[in-house]
Chains A and B, each alone.
Chain A
Amino acid sequence: MSVKLLYFAWVRERVGKAEEVVDPPAGVATVADLMTWLAGRGEEYALAFESPKFIRAAIDRTHVKASAPVAGAKEVAFFPPMTGG
């Protein structure tokens, strides 16, 4: 399952890139699984995803919970709680 990942704000800074395409293994079923898998990809990912509860996610530009399934997702974004307005 190839999926485009986008990172924003301090998640982007910690990962060290704004976007990438990844191919997670079959066991990655939810957004939470994806964060756990990403955290194991290296030091910068471990730092970015060390506290998943502080990270929000969107699938194909819609807010989702960590329990949301990632099957069929084209674009998954990870970011801190929003501070606009």
Chain B
Amino acid sequence: MPATIRLQSADFDVGAEAASLTRGRTDIGAVVTFTGICRGDEAGAPVAAMVLEHYPGMAEAEIAGHVAEAEARWPLIGATIIHRHGRLLPGDNIVLVVTAASHRGDAFAAAEFLMDYLKTRAPFWKQVERPDGAAWVDAKSTDDAAADRWTERRPAAE
């Protein structure tokens, strides 16, 4: 399966990334795209900007491992993950997950799986700039719970 993983400071084009997965193919029946966007508030407080720090080398490896796991669980035909780093403003794109499959159920499930793992396992950290100073975003237990769902569903054979 062709998988594209990119970490970059530059923006991405959701339509172009989805189109490049399907171009010239007739076996894909479903493409799911998820885009994470920088909000103008965090935990009820306004946010002027967000700075995303990452662990170069490990971030790519960690994401590649989860793409491989998604590929083993669902009959994917293609996947693209792009995660931005650096300083982002409210309204800016942060992360893109695109999954392609013959049928929508597999594409939806794989995209959700990949996002849940990106949030809890990929080595990225968000710091928000507020009027009263910078603050690191706390990890959310709801994100851990979302990722744990996939462990519970994992077949015993694995």
Do A and B come together as binding partners?
Answer: yes
Using CB atoms and an 8 Å cutoff, list the residues of chain A in contact with chain B: 6, 8-10, 58, 61-63, 77, 79-85
Query: Which chain A positions have C-beta within 8 A of B119?
Result: 82-85
CA distance A9 to B127 in the complex (A): 8
Q: What mask results when residues 97 to 124 of chain B are scored 1 for a CB within 8 Å of chain A, else 0?
A: 0000000000000000001001111111
Q: Is B122 within 8 A of A58, CB to CB?
A: no
Q: A61-B57, A61-B61 are in contact. Are A84 and B127 (CB under 8 A)?
A: no
Chain B interface residue count: which class? 20 to 34
Would you call B11 an interface residue if the criterion is a C-beta within 8 Å of the partner chain's C-beta atoms?
Answer: no
Q: Is A82 within 8 A of B139, CB to CB?
A: yes
Which residues 48-99 of B sit at the A interface, judged by CB distance below 8 A? Answer: 52-55, 57-58, 61-62, 83, 94-95
CA distance A62 to B62 in the complex (A): 8
Query: Which chain B positions have C-beta within 8 A of A80?
Result: 125, 136, 139
Main secondary structure of the interface of B (DSSP, over half): mixed
Q: Is A85 within 8 A of B123, CB to CB?
A: no
Q: Is B57 within 8 A of A10, CB to CB?
A: no
Query: Which chain A positions have C-beta within 8 A of B130?
Result: none
19 more A-B contacts (CB under 8 A) besides A82-B125, A84-B83? A8-B53, A9-B125, A9-B136, A61-B57, A63-B121, A77-B58, A79-B55, A80-B125, A80-B139, A81-B138, A82-B121, A82-B124, A83-B119, A84-B52, A84-B95, A84-B118, A84-B123, A85-B118, A85-B122
Query: Which chain A positions have C-beta within 8 A of B120?
Result: 81-82
Q: Is A83 within 8 A of B125, CB to CB?
A: yes
Q: Is B55 within 8 A of A83, CB to CB?
A: no
Would you call B29 an interface residue if the criterion is a C-beta within 8 Å of the partner chain's C-beta atoms?
Answer: no
Q: Is A6 within 8 A of B55, CB to CB?
A: yes
Least Cβ–Cβ distance between A18 and chain B, in angstroms: 10
Least Cβ–Cβ distance between A32 and chain B, in angstroms: 20
